[in-house]
């Protein structure tokens, strides 16, 4: 009996073909795969391979970007209903797919809510979606924006097709028969408890919190055993599952779990020139692999597939995604298809997704055509419509448009320490009052944080009340040490609270950057600078828009380094007045994406 093993070199083409075979064997138990690369000839060739391995898969159905929610599920066909005078239901894409592969295009631009609605509709039709698979295509490169988290959790694999050509993923000889045999033997494949426990432990070592990944890894191991014509999952099958399923989901680099005794033993083996495997063969012969050895092998197999800069890429991706969603938003722009806010008129559209139905505008639009429509419809097949009081056509439907203004929050973190604090306080008060007057007109909020002594203090909670702001500004204190880390962290907390409430935050730092109090309130200049740098990096990771105004009389590199760590715009204004500060803040407001 011929045994088929995993590709030894793990080249992208062999991995792509193996993933197609495993999906054809296990069916919808694995969900599908995420494909990194443009949807070109390679994707079409790989889909042809996937559909060719299953007799019940004839062709794939594509779900383009911008597909509306009602197009996925069965919904009312508004045009056909109004034309025929009876309720006409339009079948959704998932229902029309009938278990065929669904290709989701441009998933790196999908939202979490769109992915949730897709799987909600899919899970409601278990009978018609037997064997259905999802192929989510990311148009960007491997280190750019990722698919929604829900898609990554539901789909077992993630593969890259960059650099491949269509001929590399064509149908190998005899694979159809092998897949048919593997599908027939797959239900009888068993997974030993030790192997399943090692897979779970490997997922924990890689920082994977979802139990769905463990189940999919065990499923892949069983499918690979069936593919290799085995009745029991072996260590090699578990290694393939760790590499294909667990490695793309890793959130941390696995630590070295070798203890002091093992390390000393390894060093002794290196000095004697004899490996551990050779010594086992000499002393005890062939023995079964222990659970600990299997877990180490699975961790090594998964770690081999991890990029060397995994942690840096994870942090950069998180900061970029949050920055895209918060930094580039503007508070005064109209939201697309807003369903609440200030009405700004009506437009032709579909009430299911373009806005609420404006009944009065719809009737006004249809009224001038009633006589003409009754004359035309009397001799037409749709004569029953002529007996209606008002004959409404799809072109008459009008929806209300709204201007939805997202609230904006400007947070001023002012350095109130030192002998020149009174000068900085007067300029900060003037700048805040100038900006507050503008924010009051736009209904934007302002908050004020002052840091001096041992900690920072919120003097003005987010508000757009002029009287309350002036009272807080009049009592702004000054003097003392500089707890810069506490000031940045307090402002960051206010920005996070505003972001959770749907506000767009702008952080304005007015300081000379000379920190001398650490995050614990202890006077230690070196640790204070390190804590301030760490707090600035957390602000950048949150994606909060920031402006760093250097108010020191003699400019130094400290403020510039902190501003760079915060990803803030650096404005060196040692002699800045209130109007200059206000102008710098206005020009740094978040802009539309």
pLDDT in tens, 85-100: 677 888 888 888 777 8
As a whole number of angstroms, the distance between CA 474 and CA 477 comes to 9
Torsion sign, CA atoms 150, 152, 157, 161: positive
Contacts of 284 (CB under 8 A, 6+ apart): none
Contacts of 348 (CB under 8 A, 6+ apart): 395, 397, 398, 399
Does residue 422 have a pLDDT over 80?
A: no
Cα 115 to its chain centre, rounded Å, is 11
* Beta-ladder partners of 123: none
As a whole number of angstroms, the distance between CA 428 and CA 283 comes to 79
pLDDT at 442 (0 to 100):
66
Over range 297-312, report the average pLDDT. 61
Torsion sign, CA atoms 554, 560, 566, 569: positive
Which of residues 249 and 432 earns the better pLDDT score? Answer: 249
> What six digits make up the tokens of 277?
């495997």
As a whole number of angstroms, the distance between CA 457 and CA 444 comes to 22
pLDDT for 156-202, tens place per residue? Answer: 898 888 888 888 888 888 898 999 999 999 999 999 999 888 888 88
Give the residue from 140, 133, 134, 135 showing the smallest Cα distance to 162.
140
Does residue 222 have a pLDDT over 90?
A: yes
209, 247, 314, 518, 576 from 310: Cα distances, Å: 17, 11, 6, 30, 43
- C-beta contacts of 122-125 below 8 A and 24+ residues apart: 122/94, 125/94, 125/95
Does residue 334 have a pLDDT over 50?
A: no
Kindly state the DSSP code that residue 289 receives in the 8-state scheme: P
DSSP helix/strand/coil, 404: coil
> How many Å from the N-terminal Cα to the C-terminal Cα in the chain?
59
As a whole number of angstroms, the distance between CA 103 and CA 32 comes to 10
pLDDT for 127-160, tens place per residue? Answer: 666 667 899 888 765 445 578 888 888 898 988 8
> What element of type H or E holds 345?
strand 342-348
As to burial, measured by CB atoms within 10 angstroms (0-12 exposed, 13-18 middle, 19+ buried), residue 339 is middle
pLDDT at 269 (0 to 100):
47
Q: pTM for the full model?
A: 0.56
As to burial, measured by CB atoms within 10 angstroms (0-12 exposed, 13-18 middle, 19+ buried), residue 180 is middle
Confidence of residue 278 (pLDDT cuts 50, 70, 90): very low
> What six digits make up the tokens of 355?
């806005």
As to burial, measured by CB atoms within 10 angstroms (0-12 exposed, 13-18 middle, 19+ buried), residue 110 is buried
pLDDT at 368 (0 to 100):
86
> What six digits make up the tokens of 501?
């409430």
């Amino acid at each position: 009996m011929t045994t088929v093993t995993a590709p030894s070199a793990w080249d992208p083409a062999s991995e792509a073909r193996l993933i197609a075979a495993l999906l054809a064997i296990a069916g919808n138990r694995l969900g599908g795969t995420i494909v990194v690369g443009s949807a070109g000839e390679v994707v079409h060739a790989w889909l042809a391979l996937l559909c060719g391995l299953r007799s019940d898969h004839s062709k794939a159905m594509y779900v383009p970007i911008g597909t509306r929610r009602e197009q996925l599920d069965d919904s009312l066909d508004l045009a056909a209903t109004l034309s025929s005078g009876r309720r006409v239901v339009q079948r959704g894409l998932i229902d029309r797919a009938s278990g065929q592969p669904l290709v989701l295009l441009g998933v790196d631009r999908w939202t979490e809510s769109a992915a949730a609605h897709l799987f909600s509709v899919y899970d409601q039709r278990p009978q018609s979606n037997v064997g259905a698979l999802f192929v989510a295509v990311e148009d960007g490169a491997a280190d750019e924006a990722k698919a929604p988290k829900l898609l990554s959790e539901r789909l077992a694999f993630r593969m890259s097709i960059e650099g491949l050509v269509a001929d590399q993923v064509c149908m190998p000889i005899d694979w159809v028969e092998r897949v048919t045999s593997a599908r027939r033997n797959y239900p009888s494949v068993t997974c030993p408890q030790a192997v399943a426990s090692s897979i779970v432990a490997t997922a924990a070592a890689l920082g994977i919190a979802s139990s769905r990944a463990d189940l999919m890894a065990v499923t892949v191991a069983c499918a690979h055993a069936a593919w290799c014509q085995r009745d029991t999952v072996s260590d090699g099958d578990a290694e393939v599952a760790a590499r294909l399923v667990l490695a793309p989901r890793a959130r941390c680099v696995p630590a070295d779990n070798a203890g002091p005794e093992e390390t000393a033993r390894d060093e002794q083996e290196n000095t004697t020139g004899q490996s551990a495997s050779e010594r086992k063969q000499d002393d005890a012969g062939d023995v079964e692999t222990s659970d600990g050895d299997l877990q180490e092998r699975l961790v090594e197999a998964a770690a081999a597939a991890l990029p060397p800069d995994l942690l840096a890429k994870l942090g950069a991706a998180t900061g970029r995604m949050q920055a895209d969603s918060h930094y580039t938003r503007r508070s005064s722009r109209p939201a697309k298809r807003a369903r609440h806010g200030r009405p700004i008129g009506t437009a032709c559209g579909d009430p299911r997704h373009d806005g609420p139905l404006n009944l009065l505008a719809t009737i006004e639009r249809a009224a001038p055509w009633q006589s003409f429509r009754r004359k035309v419809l009397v001799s037409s097949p749709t004569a029953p419509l002529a007996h209606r009081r008002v004959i409404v056509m799809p072109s008459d439907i009008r929806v209300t448009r709204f201007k939805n203004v997202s609230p904006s929050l400007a947070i001023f973190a002012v350095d109130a320490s030192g002998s020149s604090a009174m000068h900085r306080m007067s300029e900060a008060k003037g700048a805040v009052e100038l900006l507050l007057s503008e924010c009051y007109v736009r209904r934007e909020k302002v908050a004020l944080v002052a840091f001096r002594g041992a900690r920072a203090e919120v003097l003005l909670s987010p508000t757009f009340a002029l009287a309350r702001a002036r009272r807080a500004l009049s009592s702004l204190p000054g003097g003392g040490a500089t707890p810069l880390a506490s000031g940045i962290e307090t402002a960051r907390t206010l920005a996070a609270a505003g972001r959770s409430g749907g506000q767009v935050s702008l952080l304005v730092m007015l300081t000379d950057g000379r920190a001398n109090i650490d995050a614990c309130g202890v006077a230690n200049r070196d640790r204070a600078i390190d804590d301030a740098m760490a707090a600035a990096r957390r602000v950048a990771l949150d994606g909060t828009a920031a402006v760093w105004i250097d108010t020191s009389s003699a400019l130094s590199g400290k403020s510039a380094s902190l501003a760079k760590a915060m990803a803030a715009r650096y404005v060196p204004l040692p002699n800045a007045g209130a109007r200059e500060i206000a102008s710098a803040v206005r020009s740094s407001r978040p802009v539309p994406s």
